[in-house]
Amino acid sequence: MKTLHHLHRPLGSTGLNVSPLGLGTVKLGRDQGVKYPEGFRIPDDREAADLIALARDLGINLIDTAPAYGRSEERLGPLLHGQRHQWVIVSKTGEEFVGGQSQFDFSAAHTRRSVERSLQRLETDYIDLVLVHSDGNDLDILRGTEVYATLERLKDEGLIRGFGFSGKTADGGLLALERGDCAMVTYNLNEQAEKPVIDHAQAHGRGILIKKALASGHAALAPGVDPVRASFELVLGHPGVASAIVGTINPLHLAHNVDIAAEVLDR
């Protein structure tokens, strides 16, 4: 069984070293309003603990969560008890999921309250990276709200180690990297509009995390081409990418993803 232990890489200039695949945890806390092709059951605590243990054994050290992921953060706190030093934890601010609907607030007061609540839920005294969960109005958020200035203060206070932006546009990602440590961008076989953000980050020592690396819609690939392998060859083949977040709760899928990623990177 291949692992990623020997393939960790720097996340920009944050000082953090991360596995090339990270574990996304939306499915640990939320099963409403999610865009997956098939329904799923939220894992119970034993299943979630086993999944996290498997991820760690496979060399994954990055775990991605958010307040908008339902109960994900509050479940991860106990699940990661005694393991905090082994994980790079990424969370978000700006989006809440309430009553089946997303709500957005990028004010200074909400940003601080959100991060302090995440610290409590995750049962930790620092979060490695907090990203702004954009509603799509990337430039308006960065230019017209207090969210980035507040995250800078929280970093100065030692409550977070780094901050950045999970946006939806190339312009937003580029602007976010002027002050932020990291950007999370969509990049896959079907969507590559945000590639300029990755190129810019590589040239300027900023970190890049990839969301939706295994987007659906691989039907355009030639027969016999493995969509997971083709996706990882594209995404992990870009030297500006630190890690791609995979959100599976299926242990076999997770092990397969790690096996393919290790093969791609070890060539």
What confidence score (pLDDT) does residue 37 get?
65
DSSP H helices, 102-180, are 108-122, 138-144, 147-156, 170-179
Residues involved in catalysis = 69
Q: Answer yes or no: are the C-beta atoms of 173 and 121 closer than 8 Å.
A: no
Which residues pair with residue 104 across a beta bridge? Answer: 95
Instruction: Please count the other Cβ atoms lying within 10 Å of the Cβ belonging to residue 257.
Output: 23
What confidence score (pLDDT) does residue 224 get?
79
Query: Would you call 85 exposed, middle or buried from its count of C-beta atoms within 10 A (0-12, 13-18, 19+)?
Result: exposed
**Degrees to nearest 5, angle at CA 60 with 202 and 193:** 35
Block means of pLDDT (10 residues each) for the chain, 267 residues, are 96 97 96 75 96 98 97 97 97 94 97 98 98 98 98 98 98 98 96 98 98 71 83 97 96 97 95
b/e per residue, 97-135, with b = 16+ CB within 10 A? beeeeeebbbeeebbbebbeebbebbebeebbbbbbbbb
Orientation of helix 147-156 relative to helix 170-179, angle to 10°:
30
What confidence score (pLDDT) does residue 31 get?
85
Task: State pTM to two decimals.
Answer: 0.96
